[in-house]
Structure 1
Amino acid sequence: MAEPSDQNCSTEGREQQLEARIAELEAKLEESEEHTRAILNTAVDGIITIDEHGLIEQFNKAAEQIFGYRAEEVIGENVKILMPSPYREEHDGYIERYLRTGEARIIGIGREVEGQRKDGSVFPMELGVGEMNFGGETKFTGFVHDISDRRELEERVRRSERMEALGQLAGGIAHDFNNVLTIVNSYTYTSMAHDDLAPELEHYLSKIKDAAERGARLTRQLLAFSPEQIGEPRVLDLNEVIREIKGLARSIIEEDIEFEVRLESDLPRVEVDPGQIEQVIMNLIVNARDAMPRGGRLNIRTHKAYLSPALRRSGYHPELSPGDYVLLIVEDTGVGMDEETRSHIFEPFFTTKPTGKGTGLGLATVYGIVQRYGGQICVESEPGEGSAFYIYFPLAESEAATWVTERVAQTRRESSGGETILLVEDEEDVREPLKLALEGRGYSVIEAKSGKNAIDVIDAYEGQIDLVLTDVIMPELSGVELVDHLAKEYPSMQSILVSGYSGEVLQRKEISPQRVRVAKPYDIDELASLVRDMLDEGRAS
């Protein structure tokens, strides 16, 4: 047998060294790519890379959250699927023109444009585009920042400034008009005091007096919208105010409207003027009645509400400070309102009613009174879907410390009930620790990884399920759809909706943020306290 030559050994050695070097470089390249992916996927802004034909090559996690697509759904697709008209139709021509002439409209400049999500909704965004060249191939990287929240905040500030200016104007007009009415009333009463007044003249003066009183009622409504309106606030139970005017409310509602009042017991007290709060409630009732000319359902409810810092950070009622509130809800099944109407309903003299049927001061008055006592009012409504007004009143100063102490104590208590909870969450890493935490408090927990899976689990389960705790946004069947289905099939089953999405995202998906009781990230003790309260409420009812 021939011995291997020194030349062969040398060649093999060089090949082995070369292979080792290649393997080392490949490992470093893979490590570098992994490092790059990590940077891309931890960026807070969307980062999208396309080739010179507009085809998407990279799509980071933030872009997935902004546009609603998974990366694998869009890679290889033309980037114009992320654009509404007219940008979509113009995009390919823009790239071709830029590569041919160098004329840049956005590359290297950046500007505000509009993007289109997977669900078809359009949103404002800041877009900056950079150009790269790899091996003779041109690539473009877009940096996307969703500015929906900023635009919403700007609009809220503009609306607040407009309402404040209107309030000051209304207050000034009412003050001057009151002086005029005072003069009219004074001379009218003086004239009517004469003993030898002719019947015909007395009739005319009586009409003048009635007209002046109507004018005075209008100015009182204007002043209620003005921040200078004087009230006589006192500490009271909102439930008592509602009970006192329930009969009056029923008398002004037609018989074809179902009227239901549900008041939460042991409601903390608020510091308000009782007469003005009666005015708030009655104005909302009249507004609801007028929205249901063919009948419907009107509900008034009260609740204790706690806005946690985490819930506020997630975008729920950013105008409210974290803390405890008394929540008044007035909801109807009337004609509803579109977005344009909703944006103006609290402005003085704005009305959708026919000429002569309304002054446009009812909801403006409500807004002014609620603001005066440190509260907030918001409305949810869609055409044909009815309306719901949510009014948050801060607790009276004498009540606040007591309720904070009690709430903290409640969040620390542990359950000894042993009820059964169905936990629905599509993320296992979220579902597992919550299951362990609830089991640690004595509950029996059944798991489901989706809305459809939850229905199958319930159908197969032979025992009683007392409460379903579900994520809101899940594939195929959302948590809201699941809860609505279960409410029909199992009326006694309680439910809690949990979400990590902002209120703006939920509204875009046609989900009412008011239905979400818990925001991620949540405090386990607070969540456990809410679970206990819901179970106790279900048992009491």
Structure 2
Amino acid sequence: MLYQELPRIESSPLDGWSRWLVPAAIFVGALTAAALLVFVGQPLFAGAVVLGGLAAGGFVYLRPPPDINLSEPLVVGPDFSLVGAALGLSREPTALTTGEGSLLIVNSSYRDRFGGSQPPLELGADEQAKQGLELAKSMAWRDGAGCVAGIGTHAGVSPVEVERVGGHRELLLWRFPDPSPIDPLTRAVRQIEGLAGERLASAAVMAAIVDAKGRLLAANSLFLERAVGRPIGESNIRFAELVDIGEDQRMRLVADGEGAAPLRAVHLPASADGHGGEGTFLLFDAADAPAAAQGSNLQALLDFLPIGLALVDRDGRFLTMNEAFRRAAGVSASTTPVYPGDLVVKEDKAAVADAVRRNARGPAMSGDLAVRLARQTAEPVALTIAGLRGLGDAAVLLLLKDNSEEAKLKRQVAQATKMQVVGQLAGGVAHDFNNILTAIIGHCDLMLMRHTPGDSDYDDIQQIKSNSNRAAGLTRQLLAFSRQQTLRPQVLQLPDVVSEVSHLLKRLLGETVELVVKHGRALGPVRADPGQLEQVIVNLAVNARDAMQLKGGGVLTIQTYSVKADQVAELGSDILPVADYSALSVTDTGCGIPPNVLGKIFEPFFTTKEIGKGTGLGLSTVYGIVKQSGGFIFADSRVDEGTRFVIYLPVHREEAGAAKPRKTEKGKPNELWGSGTVLLVEDEPMVRSVAERALTRHGYQVITADNGEDALEILDKGEPIDLLISDVVMPGMDGPAMVREARKSRPNLKVLFMSGYAEEQLRKSIDIENVNFLPKPFSVTDLAEAARNTLGAK
């Protein structure tokens, strides 16, 4: 728990107004007492008033000194008491940290599980677990939320969920939920107390749920009526007090008396491994009932249980299996296999048959086998085999857990990890490539200043610059995929963006594709970069056109509509948070996407087009732009029917008093000339050279430095510097560290940062007041305009 202690400042008990309160109270009390004595004639009341005045004065005089001197200004930091109280309501271990992972506050469940208040990033038991925690933190800081399954800690394996919270989205909320999402015992209690218990009671089956300590948790009405005689409520009833096991090892109800007939009892364990006493006890009253009726009762119960159960006879053949077992094994009622070995692949048949034979004919025991099902050969599953005795023809119990959701989560984590690594690689390549393109485009601009249209070299230089700009577009795609591009978000309406780009789409789609645009009502505004959003629509439309041309044409439908929070809640999506969204759907009637390809479409460099007809960056760019804009994108497709992409962008709520962005006009070439001294700090020689020449040609006196240390030495000499232009990422001292040090002696120094990385990615490091940012690659005109705007800014 985080506490904030204020300094205790002593003060005199009679300081200020309080020193006049004592005589005033005594004087008023005396006057009141005299009046009561004269006019009412009650000396008892008069004495009480006098004692009350003395007590009030004494309280003021003897009151403890205040903790805070009211004459001093009071400065109090963030108060986490309310947050701590809220976290205390959660049963899951929960912690609140800063963006870097420094611990702010934890709840009691967190301390109980992990034995203290260690920061979440320090809970990893090994290097792999620590990398998983770092991955969850990075995903949350970038996307707003992140999760990783199977993190190994000293308190056991647990999943972790991280969410970016706070008024300025600067904090992280960590949750370590129960690693087992489904509690079979709790589910069994709910079923026995509900319709399942009543159906069992109508079939003359008594059912009781017992925990690991032997306490009765729940029972159906028949068991309560015969064995307990009252509702369970909060009473601590032990199952052993209600039943009695005689010398014949048969179970009887204590309430039925000593001469009661024995009952047929079945214990169904709650755990998948079959160990422990907790679980469901079934008591069959009719020992002489027909075998078919007993089997019907047993099957009715098995179908209500959440665990996959099957019974096998002594010859190794299936007797029965419940619905949960069928779902996990992937079989239907019409295709029930004969032997357990029929469920698994050829390599595992012998091991399963041998285990069933040993448990059926030998001593009763249990064990687990890792097998691969014939319907799902990729992921192994755990098959528990336990011997049974005293249950008629049933000799072996099989338990099978459906771990498809767990396998799906593992694949999602692996996919997220892969996308994270590829994104980091793409961002690094784009950064280095942007430095090269900056030099090429800058030198082209300098050469064009010495040539005029019609010169022999003019067209060649223009061609080089055009190809360089195309390469710059490719790096922007890489940065868009890795969510590291520089966005210029604005508050806008989706129908306006679609209208702006619809005329371009009509030319791109051709005559064989019909464009249909539909707009919904009451769409909320969104905050996004309009240029990047147009690129998203164009990329999706071009892909749809190519898919429909394989069928000779079709219809492309672009629709915008509003999605309210209650509608999102009804969807039940684990990915889409409950909030208000403005949605954009792009639907085509093309050839569709096969299911084995649909999960890979957003991966970079993945394409189904012919060699030379696709880079594989179109949909990955769309994915990166949508995620960086705070949105979500989903794809649904059916072969030969078409594909539908849906983009959800959160509705933007304008904060009260928020300042509107100031519009800047593009400067004309003759308005970009300036004067003054510029200190240029750049570690790449080719970029430093072209920037120096560009600034010199626009009237500036330029001093260069190739690192932050040299720049500080120049500033320490007292040189008059009007503008500092610096790269952000440099070896040794980086740009932000250098600026913070320089501002100590020159607080009004104007600063322009430039970098091949995105401004959003560097926002945390360049969070300095009164600085501008110029993304690479830039032209000579872009640099001159940025320098002019920075010098003119107040």
* TM-score > 0.5 by shorter chain: yes
Q: Which residue of 2 aligns with 1:108?
A: 367
Q: Secondary structure at the match of 2:461?
A: helix
Conservation of the 8 A alpha-carbon contact between 1:113 and 1:127: no
Distance 1:124 1:381 in 2: 29
Q: Does 1:187 align with 2:443?
A: yes
Shift of 1:183: 0.6
The 10-residue stretch of structure 1 (297-306 or 251-260) with the greater mean CA deviation from structure 2: 297-306
The equivalences for 1:39-78 within 5 A come to: 40-63=302-325, 66=328, 78=338
Q: Secondary structure at the match of 1:356?
A: coil
Shift of 1:233: 1.7
Gaps of 5+ in 2: 1-256, 265-282, 288-293, 656-794
Q: Residue 167 of structure 1: which of 419, 423, 448 is its match?
A: 423
Gaps of 5+ in 1: 1-19, 400-541
Distance 1:196 1:369 in 2: 39
Identity of aligned residues (%): 34
Alignment deviations for residues 94-120 of structure 1 (CA, whole Å, 9 cap, x no partner):
468757998x9x961232532649xxx
Cα gap change, 1:22 to 1:56, in 2 (>3 Å): farther
Conservation of the 8 A alpha-carbon contact between 1:131 and 1:138: no
Alignment deviations for residues 501-527 of structure 1 (CA, whole Å, 9 cap, x no partner):
xxxxxxxxxxxxxxxxxxxxxxxxxxx
Distance 1:259 1:197 in 2: 41
Q: Does 1:29 align with 2:270?
A: no
Conservation of the 8 A alpha-carbon contact between 2:311 and 2:394: no
Q: Residue 461 of structure 2: which of 196, 202, 205 is its match?
A: 205
Cα gap change, 1:74 to 1:295, in 2 (>3 Å): closer
The 10-residue stretch of structure 1 (376-385 or 207-216) with the greater mean CA deviation from structure 2: 376-385
Shift of 1:67: 5.5
Q: Secondary structure at the match of 2:367?
A: coil
Q: Residue 516 of structure 2: which of 235, 253, 260 is its match?
A: 260
Cα gap change, 1:299 to 1:53, in 2 (>3 Å): farther
The equivalences for 1:287-298 within 5 A come to: 287-293=543-549, 294-298=552-556
Conservation of the 8 A alpha-carbon contact between 1:257 and 1:297: yes
Runs of 4+ in 1 over 6 A off after TM superposition: 20-23, 31-39, 68-71, 99-102, 121-124, 135-138
The equivalences for 1:128-527 within 5 A come to: 128-134=384-390, 139-195=395-451, 199-293=455-549, 294-306=552-564, 316-398=572-654
Alignment deviations for residues 133-173 of structure 1 (CA, whole Å, 9 cap, x no partner):
34896722111211111111121122122222222222221
The one-letter amino acid paired with 1:297 is: V
Cα gap change, 1:247 to 1:383, in 2 (>3 Å): same
Q: Which residue of 1 aligns with 2:279?
A: none
Cα gap change, 1:25 to 1:114, in 2 (>3 Å): same
Conservation of the 8 A alpha-carbon contact between 2:565 and 2:578: yes
Q: Secondary structure at the match of 2:386?
A: strand
Conservation of the 8 A alpha-carbon contact between 1:67 and 1:82: no
Conservation of the 8 A alpha-carbon contact between 2:308 and 2:328: yes
Q: Secondary structure at the match of 1:159?
A: helix
Shift of 1:285: 0.5
Cα gap change, 1:296 to 1:131, in 2 (>3 Å): same
Distance 1:157 1:172 in 2: 23
The one-letter amino acid paired with 1:128 is: T
Q: Secondary structure at the match of 1:108?
A: strand
Alignment deviations for residues 430-451 of structure 1 (CA, whole Å, 9 cap, x no partner):
xxxxxxxxxxxxxxxxxxxxxx
Distance 1:280 1:223 in 2: 14
Distance 1:114 1:397 in 2: 51
Q: Which has the higher contact order (CA 8 A, sep 6+)?
A: 1
Shift of 1:391: 1.6
Cα gap change, 1:175 to 1:340, in 2 (>3 Å): same
Conservation of the 8 A alpha-carbon contact between 2:341 and 2:350: no
Shift of 1:336: 2.1
Distance 1:91 1:318 in 2: 38
The 10-residue stretch of structure 1 (258-267 or 30-39) with the greater mean CA deviation from structure 2: 30-39
Alignment deviations for residues 5-37 of structure 1 (CA, whole Å, 9 cap, x no partner):
xxxxxxxxxxxxxxx999944696337979977
Conservation of the 8 A alpha-carbon contact between 1:379 and 1:387: yes
TM-score where L is the length of structure 2: 0.42
Distance 2:306 2:454 in 1: 82
Q: Which residue of 1 aligns with 2:68?
A: none
Q: Secondary structure at the match of 1:347?
A: coil
The one-letter amino acid paired with 1:394 is: P
Shift of 1:81: 8.9
Q: Secondary structure at the match of 1:252?
A: helix
The one-letter amino acid paired with 1:109 is: D
Q: Which residue of 1 aligns with 2:343?
A: 83
Distance 1:211 1:289 in 2: 26
Cα gap change, 1:327 to 1:125, in 2 (>3 Å): farther
Distance 1:177 1:150 in 2: 40
Cα gap change, 1:310 to 1:362, in 2 (>3 Å): closer
Q: Secondary structure at the match of 1:392?
A: strand
Conservation of the 8 A alpha-carbon contact between 1:56 and 1:74: no
Cα gap change, 1:224 to 1:109, in 2 (>3 Å): same
Q: Secondary structure at the match of 1:57?
A: strand
Distance 2:539 2:426 in 1: 18
Shift of 1:302: 2.3
Q: Secondary structure at the match of 1:323?
A: coil
Conservation of the 8 A alpha-carbon contact between 2:493 and 2:523: yes
Q: Which residue of 1 aligns with 2:382?
A: 126
Alignment deviations for residues 374-419 of structure 1 (CA, whole Å, 9 cap, x no partner):
22212122443322112222221349xxxxxxxxxxxxxxxxxxxx
Distance 2:395 2:641 in 1: 48
Cα gap change, 1:123 to 1:160, in 2 (>3 Å): closer
Shift of 1:250: 1.3
Q: Which residue of 2 aligns with 1:476?
A: none
Alignment deviations for residues 212-253 of structure 1 (CA, whole Å, 9 cap, x no partner):
111111112222223222212222221221122112111110
Cα gap change, 1:300 to 1:37, in 2 (>3 Å): same
Distance 2:390 2:593 in 1: 54
Shift of 1:339: 3.2
Conservation of the 8 A alpha-carbon contact between 1:370 and 1:377: yes
Distance 1:395 1:31 in 2: 64
Q: Secondary structure at the match of 1:176?
A: helix
TM-score where L is the length of structure 1: 0.60
Cα gap change, 1:254 to 1:335, in 2 (>3 Å): same
Distance 1:378 1:82 in 2: 38
Q: Secondary structure at the match of 1:166?
A: helix
Structure of greater Rg: 2
Aligned residues: 372
Q: Which residue of 2 aligns with 1:485?
A: none
The one-letter amino acid paired with 1:110 is: L
